[in-house]
Every structure is written in structure tokens, then in C-alpha cells.
Structure 1
């Protein structure tokens, strides 16, 4: 299998007791795929990113706030956050396991 990359995602049990663990899975051209393992948190974090971001909750749950509205995400659900859209991570349950895809504009990365 020439030029084929493969691997295994970390289990949710690899989540740290506090904060997040971020693992880059693959980076190709202007696309980066990461796995994020989040501990339980309820301290909001604000974001204003310069890239499109697809977030997929693989396990656990999270609450985002976009334009003042809560967006509840549970296992199997996803959201596409366009570049330059302010949003807030309101909370995550313990052992929340995310797959995140960042799509950068050419020359931004």
C-alpha cells in the first residue's frame, strides 16, 4: 500500500483529568485533521479562527454557543464552523472525544 497513511485514534479513556489532549492525525495541503480529548469543563472558551472547522463528537457531549444560540452536540453529531465566525465552547462532558478538520485558505497556514 504505497503512500497510504493509516493509524488508530486514541480511546476516550486517554483523556487527561484536566484540559485537553490534542493529537494531529494528518496534514495534507491546506487541511489538518486532529483528535481532541476533552476533560469535563464548564468554563467557557471563546474562539475566532481564521479557518473553517468541522467538529465531530465521537464520544461524550459538548455545548457550543454560536450567534448567542446553544448548539448541543452528542456522539455522532457534527457542526461546520465557517472561518471568522465567533463561537464559544460552553462545556464538555468528561471523556469527550472529537475529530476536528481545519481547512485553511491557501497561504494562511
Structure 2
């Protein structure tokens, strides 16, 4: 058994976001995302479902054309093929994302 801390080595990158895979088992991938305030909004349209929770910080997203504001503890489910873009984040915002890939 290997115990790790989700907040260890969680310094934000100078620009963009860092994606760290924590667990990959079968069709499920769990990753930690650490965001800097200097992001380039990128639209994602993924083949897999995604459940995401904002653990620290604040964020604004565009989800299928609708503005969404998140604060620490807020989570949402993004079904496959749902366009979504992170448009703004606070420094060091930390996310946990669970990707459920089709079988």
C-alpha cells in the first residue's frame, strides 16, 4: 500500500494547468489538476464522461454555452461530448477529475 497526499507537490505551474494521473484502473482515470491564473481557455469535447470537483480556489467555466461559477467544494458531472471551457481560475486552484471512458 502506497499512501500519497493529494496536496503534496501541488504548486501551480507558471502558466496553464498541470494534469497528474493519480489512478488508472479499467475504464476509469482519476487525475489532479492544478491551475495557474495564466490559462489559455481551451474548449474540451471529450469522448468520456467526467465528474469534477474544485477542491481549492474558484473557477469560471463555460459549459455548453452556459456560464458556471465554482467555489471550493462545488462539483459537477460533464457527460461525454459536452463542450466545456475553463475561462478563469484563482491562483493554485486544485481539482479532482474522474474520467469514465466507454468500454
Tell me if TM exceeds 0.5: yes
Report how far residue 77 of structure 1 moved.
Answer: 0.4
Where structure 1 has 5 or more consecutive residues not aligned to the other structure, the ranges are none
User: Shift of the alpha carbon at 1:5?
Assistant: 5.2
TM-score (norm 1): 0.85
| Residue ranges of structure 2 left out of the alignment (5+ in a row) | none
- Runs ≥4 in structure 1, deviation > 6 angstroms? none
**SS of corresponding position for 2:81:** coil
Q: TM-score, normalised by structure 2?
A: 0.89
Q: Secondary structure at the match of 2:46?
A: coil
Distance in structure 2 (CA, Å) of the matches to 1:84 and 1:51: 7
- Residue in 2 that maps onto 1:79: 76
The RMSD of aligned alpha carbons is 1.7
Cα deviation for residue 44 of structure 1 reads 2.1
